[in-house]
Amino acid sequence: MSAVDEAPVAAREDAALDRFRTLLRIPTMSRNDVELTDWEAFDSFIAALPGLYPAVHAALEREQHGRSLLYRWAGSAPTGRPTILMGHYDVVPATDEGWQHPPFAAEITGTGDGRVLWNRGTLDDKGAVVAILEAVERLLGEGFTPQEDVYLSFGHDEETVGTGAQAIVAALRERGIRPALVLDEGGAIVERIFPGVTRPIAVVGVSEKGITSVRLTVEQHGGHASTPPKLTATVRLARAITRLNAKPFPARLTETNLRMVETLGAHASGPLRAVFTRARRLQPLLRAVFGRLSDETRAIVRTTTAVTQLRGSLAANALPETAEAIVNVRIAVGSTVAETLEHIRRAVRDPQVRIEAVDASEPSPVSPSEGAEWDRVAGALAQVHPRAIVTPYIMLGASDSRHFTAIGDTVYRFTPFEMSTEERGTLHARDERIHVRTWLRGIEVYALLLRSS
């Protein structure tokens, strides 16, 4: 491509980047306490979209469900099997403290292909939302119309309770919509996560773990801290937590796990290649290997628990009458909420510790890792990232896509961005950022996927 040819491309990319930065600067922070949520920021985000994406808002129907948005792009010859591209524009809270660059300043460092954009939401998940809008706006400018209907679903409270996505699913179900393909956030293009594999790996989530908060509660007589009983409520609770931590859930390899190992093992080098390519016959060995490689691989093969909140006395010199712990539980595919609670009860072994699930969600059904819709995703990815190995996996986190399994059988979780280990570590943490070139390539993947609609 000549310098003359490159000029309009560079101008287009710079304009897209400016729009992205404009939306990133709007602090749409979700909070569990809705009274503390700045809803004006959400309204500002919604109000900014028509001016930034005029073609989208001229050609597509838009409706609101709460503050979540649903767009419909009418197809030229629809057969009732639409595509749904998803994302969410709310982000987890952030303050300036500890960030190298302010979390809502959308600052860029570096030059050329080394430019990096710093902001809360670049990876999770405004990056995907804006990349989808950019792809649609570009295709409309080229005069493209999909054959099938296309829906864009952008949630406003994915980081908390997901009411927007649930309302959109309810509306689509009432209209009899059964999508051929749903694509939400989830996996990414990563490197060096699998021993012996040096090529980039595109991990496409075909399911996701269940999620629940389990509350452990101990109630007993309080009193002055100067005369404590042998076993206070907090000590009993601490013992329960220690017992639970000492009894991890059993490791299991699901069909998706095995397929991932076989797919990646075929590209591995070194002594583990022989193990990975014989995954089905060597499952006990593989379970042990996954349990030792990293926190991520350990989480792939079992239900996990993490104590995230503790509550005791209201005063330093008073015995607590109620001691409480919240355990964040991610339930492995193949297990259930009921099975999880039974394991916790057996591990705690104390009838005076009340155990109850809060906001429980079962693991999602497993979507196929072959067939026309899988090939659409893999094909679009291959054109932009030809070296990437595409593999199914089970997503460890939770997303709004779990609600869409009620109306579709082919629900995938994949964001077409390259993410290093360090960058993945900024999700829900300080210094969240994305390489500008990575984000621009993501737009290309979405555009290719839409062209196959």
Q: For the purposes of burial, counting CB atoms within 10 Å of the CB of 306, is it exposed (0-12), middle (13-18) or buried (19 or more)?
A: exposed
Torsion angle (degrees, nearest 10) of CA 170, 122, 429, 27: -70
Peptide bond into 90 cis (omega under 30): no
**What six digits make up the tokens of 223?**
């009193």
Left (φ > 0), alpha (ψ -120 to 50) or beta: where does 186 sit? left
Find the helix or strand (DSSP H, E) in which 323 lies.
Answer: strand 322-331
Angle made by CA atoms 227, 229, 232, in degrees to the nearest 5 = 115
Residue 197 phi, psi dihedral angles, 5° rounding: -105, 120
Find, among 284, 285, 300, 370, the residue nearest to 333 by Cα.
300
Q: Is 90 designated active site?
A: yes
Q: Is 262 designated active site?
A: no
DSSP 106-141: -EEES-GGG-EEE-TTTTTTHHHHHHHHHHHHHHHH
DSSP three-state, residue 263: helix
**Catalytic one among 90, 125, 157, 159?**
90
**Catalytic one among 149, 158, 423, 444?**
158
Using alpha carbons, list the distances in angstroms from residue 48 to 21, 27, 191, 276: 12, 13, 36, 50
400: β partners: none
For residues 333 and 301, the answer to whether their CB atoms sit within 8 Å is no
DSSP 188-230: EEESS-STT--S-EEEEEEEE-EEEEEEEEEE---EETTS--S
Close Cβ partners of 148 (under 8 Å, ≥ 6 residues apart) = 75, 77, 78, 79, 81, 82, 83, 180, 453
For residues 237 and 249, the answer to whether their CB atoms sit within 8 Å is no
Find, among 179, 71, 81, the residue nearest to 135 by Cα.
71
Find, among 153, 139, 196, the residue nearest to 67 by Cα.
153
Residues with catalytic function = 90, 158
